[in-house]
Amino acid sequence: MKEKKYWKGLEELKEDPDFIAQRDREFAEELPVEELWGSGAWKQPQSRRDFLRLMGFGVSAAAMAASCRIPVKHAIPYVIKPEEVIPGKALWYASTFVDGNDFCPVLVKVRDGRPIKIEPSTTANISAQSPYRFLFGGTSARAQASVLSLYDLTRPHFPTVQGNEVRKENQADVEQELKSKLQQISARGGNIVLVTGTILSPSTQALIRDFLKAFPGSRHVIYDAVSHAALAAAHEKWFGVYAAPGYHFEQAEVIVSLGSDFLGTWLSPTEFARQYVQNRKVSPERTQMSRHYQFEACLSLTGANADERAVLKPSQEAVAAVALYRLLRGEPAPSINARADALLSRAAADLKAHRGRSLVVSGSNDQAVQEIVAAINLMLGNYGSTLRMDLYMRAHQGNDAPVETLLRELKSGAVHALIFYGANPVYDHPRGVEFAEAIPKVELTLSLNDRIDETTVLCTYHFPDHHYLESWNDCSPYHGLYLMTQPVIWPLFRTRQAQETLMMLCGINGDFYSYMQRYWEQNIFPLQSSFTSFQAFWDNAVKEGAVEVRTTAAVRMPEAIDVSGATEAVMAAAQQANGFELYLYEKVGSGNGRYANNPWLMELPDPISKVVWDNYLCISPKLAKELQVEMDVAEQRSDLVSVTLGETTLTLPVFIQPGQEDHTVAVALGYGRTHAGRSGNNVGVNVYPWVTFNGQHRQYHASGVVISKTGKKHELAMTQTHFSFEGRDVIQETTLNRYRNNPHAGKEKKEHLKEIWAQTLYPEHPLPAIRWGMSIDLNSCIGCGACAVSCQAENNVPVVGKTEVRRIHEMTWLRIDRYYSFPSEKGFVTKEEDYDEIVDYQQVQVVFQPMLCQHCDNAPCENVCPVNATNHSSEGLNQMAYNRCIGTRYCANNCPYKVRRFNWLDYTTADVFPWNEPWKIPTLNIEDLQMHDAVTRMVLNPDVTVRTRGVMEKCSFCVQRLQEAKLEAKMQGRPLRDGDARTACQTACPTDAIQFGNLREEGSRVKKDHEDARAYYVLAELNTQPGIAYLKKVRNTTEENISAEQAQPAHG
C-alpha cells in the first residue's frame, strides 16, 4: 500500500525546482561569510557584545573541558541479559586451582562475567573429621594470583604451526595433518613420547592411557621441574606405592624438619601450614603447643617459624638424618656441629617422648635420606597417625631417571614424536640446553603448554591449553579426594583445552566435559553411597567442587626399614662434600618459574629477604666478610659475584642473609626466564643448570662452589631495609613456659598510661552499634604472604615494578614486616647499634608481623588532613574519600605505622591524560608491566575505586565487603552475625591468623581476641587506640631469652 503523504505547500506538491533547491539547503539564507571576509569586517574593532560573547564561550568551553575529568572506558550493557547475571552482584563458583603440582580448592568470584577474585573453598562435602579438611579454608599467594594469569595478554591467542597462526578455517586441516603424521610414526613403530608434568586429574590420566593405547609405541614421561621423586621412590621401596605419604602435622606434637620448607614450598605447603598451626594456637585454656625443630642450611619460611633451629651444610642434612636415627636407637651418632648435635639429641629425646604424635620430614631428594627418615617415622610409630600411606599424596609423581633416558634418546635421534603438556624442560631441566638442541631435530613436535615458553618455541605445532578458569577439569591430590574445576569464563583467546587436543589426536569424539563425566560415572560415582543417581552426584560435585570418598589404599606396612645400605651411602656422599656448598630453593611466591609472568607474585616480597623481582646469592654475613663482598641495604645495592659449579658459571648479586650456614650459599630457582611473557622475561638468573643428577634423582644442593668478585654492583629492590625492631614494643613475644606462668606478662607496664589517655582534646567517637576490629595472632602468622596478594586482588592495588619498589614507592596496603634478633652473651640483640655483640649470625630468631592500617579511634592521620579527606566512619573505620584528597601527604607523615600509600605516579592509568604514565617519564627508567590494557583491567574489582595519581590510599578493612554483609543481613531481616563480614586478608590466610568482626558485639571472636591475655596494641602508648590487636608470639623453646621481653618498657 502506498503511504499517505502530506505536503506543506503547493510548491512541494508541484515539485517546483526553486522550492526543491531552497529545501535542500541547510540555511534559508546565505551565510555572510564571503561578505564579512571580503569586507575586512574581522579586522574591525570588536564590540563589547562580541567580547562578552567570546568570553562567555571561552569560559564555558574551559569549564566543560575541565569538568570532563574521568573518561568512561568501555561500558557495554547486555542486550539480552543472561538469567543468572545481575549487574553488580557477584556469582560464586566452586572450582579448583591446579597449576603443575600446586592445587587448592577455591571459590571463584565472578562479577559481570569476569572472574576477579579467588577465595578458599567452603564446601559442605568435607566433614570436620575429614583427613583432607586442612586443604580447605586457606589459599596460597599463588592461588590468589592465578586470576591475574587468566588476563595475561602474553598467553597465546591462537594455535600455531612453526610460529605461524593457524587460522580458524585451516585448523581442521592442520589437525588432520598432525593426526596422520602421528599415526604414520606409530604405524612404522616410531617412538612417541608424551612429556607432561604431574597429572593430578584422574580423567586426564585415563585419557592419556587411551592415547597410549591409540598410538602403540608411545609412552608417557612425567617430568616435574622441581623433583620430589626420592620421597616417592623411598615409599615405593618399603610401602609398595610410588607416592609421598599424606602428612598430618596437626597430629604432631614434635616436628623435626631436616631442610624441608613444608610451610613455604614443600609438597603442599598451604595445607601443611593450616595443619601446623592447629597445634600452635595457645589460649589460657590451651597452653599446649607443638615443638618444631628445624635443621637447615639457609633460612627458609619454615625455619623462620621454628622453635629451635640449627644450621648445617646441605650435605650434612643427610648426616643429621643418620644421627637422629642412631640417637633414637641409642647408638652413637655422627657429629655435625655443636649446636646441631645438641639440638639433635634434644629433638631425639622429644621424639621418643612423643611416639605416634611426632613427625620427621626431610626436604632431600636423595632416596637414601628419605629411607632413613621413613625408618625414623616408622620406628616412632608415626605411620598411620602423622603420615598416612593409605591416604597417600598424588602430587609430585614425576620421576627423574626416565627424563634422563628421554634426553639420551632425544640426542641419539631415537624419538620420533614429542608432545609436551605442562612441561618446560628447555627452561627448567638442568640440561635444558641439550633439550633445546635436540627438540628441533625430532620429526614431530607438539606443545600443549598454555604459554609460548622456552620449550614451546622450539616445537612445530602448538595447540595452547586453556587457563584453569576456562576449563573443565578434575583433580585428585590425595587418595580418596576428588576436586572439580569448572570454567567460569568463555575462553578469552583461541585456545583449546589440552585434553581435547589429545582426544582429537586419538579420535575420541565429544568434548572433555563429557569424557570427564563418563569417567566420574564409571570410576568415582561407584565409590560413594550418598547419591543414588549419577546426575545428582555430578551436580553436587560441580556445586561443591569436592568429593570425598572414604576409601583407603591398600599398602604394605613394613615391620622395619633396613637403613644400613642407605646409611653407608649417605655417609659416603657426605664425606665427598668439599668447599663451599650450594643450596637451591624455590621462592614462596614465584615458585619453580611457572609464575614468572605474574606481576602480583613477582612483586610479592620474599618472606625472608623482602626482595622483589630478583633472585640472588644468599650468603652469611661471616662469609661476606671473608669474600669481602658488600650489600648496602639502604641503597639496595650489592656486589655481583661470579659463581662457578662444575662447568656452569653464573653471575649473581649477593644478598647477605642472617641465619644462613657460613659455608653455604643459596639461590632461588625459577628466575631468568626468556619466554615467560612481557613482565617475567629476563628477571634474575636461571640457576637450573646447577641442579645435579646423582644417578637416581636430581639434587638441589652441591659442593665445590667457587665464588669470585666481579667488581660490579647490582641493584636489588626490597620493601624492607631495616631488619631489627630496635627493641621497641612494636613486637612482643614470650616463651611457652613464661606464658603458662603469667599469660598477662608485660601488660602492667602500660596500665599507668590510661590516666593520661583519658585526657584528650577531642571528643570520643560514639560508635554505638559497630566498631570494626581485627586481631592478628603473631603465633599463627607464618609470613607466607597470601593475605598480601589477596588484598592486592580485592582492592585493585597496582603493581609498580622493580624501579619503583627501589624508590620505595610500593603500593601494598598490607605488608608483612619481618624482624631478626640474635642471641648474644648478654641476651638478645635487637638493636642495630648492638650488632657488634652478635657472636653468630647463623642463629637468628625471626618474627613476622602483618602491618596494615590500624583504623585508630584516635587517628593521627585524621586531624591533620586539611580537607577532611580522611575521616572516621560511624563504625570505627578510618576511611579515605579519594576524590576529596589533594595529596599533601601529611597524613602519611603523621601515621606512626606508615601504612598509607601515595599514588606517586599514574600507576593505574586512571588519570585523565594518556601521555603521562610512569614508563613514559624520560628521566626515570620505569618498566612498563603492561597491566593497563583492556584485557588485564578485567581483573579489577568493580566495587573498589581505581585510584588516580596524586591521592593517598590505604587499607579500608575491605569496606565494600562490610557494606555487602550489612546489606545482606538487612535483606534477610536479621542482625549482623559474627563472621558475616570477612576481609580479603582474613579469608586468604591459611592459618586463620587474622580475625575480623565487630568489637561491640558480645561474644564475637575478635572481641574475645582483643580481651585476650596476649593481646597488645602496637604503639599503644601514643593513644592512637588502634582497631587491630596483635596477639603476642609464644615460642616453645627451652632457651628462655626472648628478645622482645627484655626490651625496656616504653613510655608515652
Partner 1 sequence: MHPESYIRPPLIHGRKDYLQITEDICRPVEAKPSRSWWVAFSISAAAMLWGFFAIGWTIWFGIGTWGLNRTVGWGWDITNFVWWIGIGHAGTLISAILLLFRQKWRTGVNRAAEAMTIFAVICAALFPVFHMGRVWMAFFNLPYPNTRGPLWPNFNSPLMWDVFAISTYFSVSVMFWYTGLIPDLATIRDRAQKRWAKIFYGILSFGWVGSAKHWQRHEALSLVLAGISTPLVLSVHTIVSFDFSTSVIPGWHTTIFPPYFVAGAIFSGFAMVLTLMLITRKVLKLEEYITIDHIESMNKIIVLTGSIVGLAYLTELFIAWYSQNPYEQYAFANRALGPYWWSYWSMMMCNVISPQLFWVRRLRRNVWFTFFMSIVINVGMWFERFVIIVTSIHRDYVPSNWSMYKPTWVEISFFIGSLGLFFTAFLVFAKLMPVIAMAEIKHILKTSGEEHKRNQLEKLRQQHAVAVTANH
Q: Of 471, 266, 277, 242, whose CA–CA distance to 993 is shortest?
A: 277
How far apart (Å, rounded) are the C-alpha atoms in residues 224 and 211? 21
- Which CB, 721 or 741, lies closer to partner 1? 721
Q: Of 505, 499, 507, whose CA–CA distance to 179 is shortest?
A: 505
Applying CB under 8 A, the span of 16-24, 85-93, 440-448, 807-815 interacting with partner 1 comes to 807-815
H or E element, residue 230: helix 229-239
Each residue of 170-189: b (16+ CB within 10 Å) or e? eeeebbeebeebbeebbeee
Residue 611 in contact with partner 1, rule: CB under 8 A: no
Q: Of 927, 55, 777, 205, whose CA–CA distance to 523 is shortest?
A: 205
Residue 13 in contact with partner 1, rule: CB under 8 A: no
- Which CB, 64 or 971, lies closer to partner 1? 64
Q: Of 519, 424, 411, 431, whose CA–CA distance to 462 is shortest?
A: 424
DSSP letter assigned to residue 494: S
Amino acid at 300: S
Q: Find the shortest distance in angstroms from Cβ 611 to partner 1.
A: 14
Rounded (5°) CA angle 406-673-418: 25
Residue 1050 in contact with partner 1, rule: CB under 8 A: yes
Among the listed residues 419, 645, 885, 962, the single contact to partner 1 using CB under 8 A:
885
- Which CB, 840 or 1021, lies closer to partner 1? 1021
Applying CB under 8 A, the span of 344-352, 465-473, 884-892, 927-935 interacting with partner 1 comes to 884-892
Contacts to partner 1 from residues 622-661, by CB under 8 A = 634-635
Q: Find the shortest distance in angstroms from Cβ 923 to partner 1.
A: 7
| DSSP H helices in 644-785 | 736-741, 753-758
Residue 168 in contact with partner 1, rule: CB under 8 A: no
Residue 903 in contact with partner 1, rule: CB under 8 A: yes
Among the listed residues 468, 580, 616, 902, the single contact to partner 1 using CB under 8 A:
902
Three cell numbers, residue 7:
505536503
Among the listed residues 273, 333, 846, 1019, the single contact to partner 1 using CB under 8 A:
1019
Among the listed residues 240, 896, 942, 979, the single contact to partner 1 using CB under 8 A:
896
Largest CA distance in the chain: 124
Q: Find the shortest distance in angstroms from Cβ 650 to partner 1.
A: 30
Are 939 and 799 a contacting pair, CB within 8 Å?
no
- Which CB, 193 or 891, lies closer to partner 1? 891
Residue 892 in contact with partner 1, rule: CB under 8 A: yes
CA-to-CA dists, residue 595 to 489, 589, 1004, angstroms:
21, 8, 39
Among the listed residues 656, 797, 852, 951, the single contact to partner 1 using CB under 8 A:
951
Applying CB under 8 A, the span of 15-23, 166-174, 912-920, 969-977 interacting with partner 1 comes to 912-920
Among the listed residues 595, 688, 739, 897, the single contact to partner 1 using CB under 8 A:
897
Residue 809 in contact with partner 1, rule: CB under 8 A: yes
- Which CB, 948 or 1037, lies closer to partner 1? 948
Applying CB under 8 A, the span of 24-32, 228-236, 268-276, 723-731 interacting with partner 1 comes to 723-731
Among the listed residues 901, 954, 961, 1033, the single contact to partner 1 using CB under 8 A:
901
Residue 726 in contact with partner 1, rule: CB under 8 A: yes
| DSSP H helices in 868-992 | 890-894, 959-971, 984-988
- Which CB, 729 or 1012, lies closer to partner 1? 729
Residues whose CB is less than 8 angstroms from the CB of residue 358 and which lie 6 or more positions away in sequence, other chains included: 252, 253, 254, 255, 256, 350, 351, 380, 382, 386
Q: How many residues bind to partner 1 according to rule CB under 8 A?
A: 68
Applying CB under 8 A, the span of 91-99, 154-162, 742-750, 804-812 interacting with partner 1 comes to 804-812
Q: How many CB atoms lie within 10 A of CB 950?
A: 16
Burial of 65 (0-12, 13-18, 19+ CB in 10 A): exposed
DSSP letter assigned to residue 523: I
Bridge-based pairing of strands 387-393 and 417-421 is: unpaired
Among the listed residues 815, 954, 1032, 1035, the single contact to partner 1 using CB under 8 A:
815
Q: Of 731, 717, 622, 733, whose CA–CA distance to 1037 is shortest?
A: 733
Among the listed residues 253, 603, 614, 810, the single contact to partner 1 using CB under 8 A:
810
Q: Find the shortest distance in angstroms from Cβ 753 to partner 1.
A: 12
How far apart (Å, rounded) are the C-alpha atoms in residues 295 and 309? 6
Contacts to partner 1 from residues 913-932, by CB under 8 A = 916, 918, 920-921, 923-924
Applying CB under 8 A, the span of 745-753, 865-873, 971-979, 987-995 interacting with partner 1 comes to 865-873
H or E element, residue 641: strand 637-645
Q: Find the shortest distance in angstroms from Cβ 896 to partner 1.
A: 4
Amino acid at 907: Y
Q: Find the shortest distance in angstroms from Cβ 451 to partner 1.
A: 32
- The region, left, alpha or beta by phi > 0 then psi within -120 to 50, assigned to residue 113 is left
DSSP per position, 983-1021: -HHHHH-TT--EEEEETTSTT-HHHHHHTSTTEE-TTGG
Q: Find the shortest distance in angstroms from Cβ 847 to partner 1.
A: 11
Binding mask 747-786 for partner 1 (x = CB under 8 A): ---------------x------------------------
Q: Find the shortest distance in angstroms from Cβ 906 to partner 1.
A: 6
Are 878 and 902 a contacting pair, CB within 8 Å?
no
- Which CB, 233 or 905, lies closer to partner 1? 905
Are 685 and 651 a contacting pair, CB within 8 Å?
yes
3-state SS, 376-396, equals: HHHHCCCECCCEEEEEEECCC
Among the listed residues 287, 894, 930, 960, the single contact to partner 1 using CB under 8 A:
894
Applying CB under 8 A, the span of 113-121, 422-430, 765-773, 1014-1022 interacting with partner 1 comes to 1014-1022
Q: Find the shortest distance in angstroms from Cβ 951 to partner 1.
A: 6
- Which CB, 536 or 924, lies closer to partner 1? 924
Amino acid at 952: M
Residue 851 in contact with partner 1, rule: CB under 8 A: yes
Q: Find the shortest distance in angstroms from Cβ 1025 to partner 1.
A: 13
- Which CB, 767 or 892, lies closer to partner 1? 892
- Which CB, 67 or 509, lies closer to partner 1? 67
Three cell numbers, residue 82:
543472561
Q: Of 853, 603, 844, whose CA–CA distance to 719 is shortest?
A: 603
Are 324 and 339 a contacting pair, CB within 8 Å?
no
Are 914 and 974 a contacting pair, CB within 8 Å?
no
CA-to-CA dists, residue 78 to 85, 113, 415, 481, 941, angstroms:
10, 11, 52, 39, 19
Among the listed residues 226, 327, 1022, 1034, the single contact to partner 1 using CB under 8 A:
1022
Binding mask 676-715 for partner 1 (x = CB under 8 A): ----------------------------------------
Among the listed residues 377, 1024, 1037, 1043, the single contact to partner 1 using CB under 8 A:
1024
Contacts to partner 1 from residues 441-460, by CB under 8 A = none
Q: Find the shortest distance in angstroms from Cβ 754 to partner 1.
A: 18
Footprint of partner 1 on this chain (CB under 8 A)? 634-635, 720-722, 724-728, 730, 762, 804, 807-810, 815, 817-819, 849, 851, 860, 863-868, 884-890, 892-894, 896-898, 901-906, 916, 918, 920-921, 923-924, 948-952, 1018-1019, 1022, 1024, 1048, 1050-1052
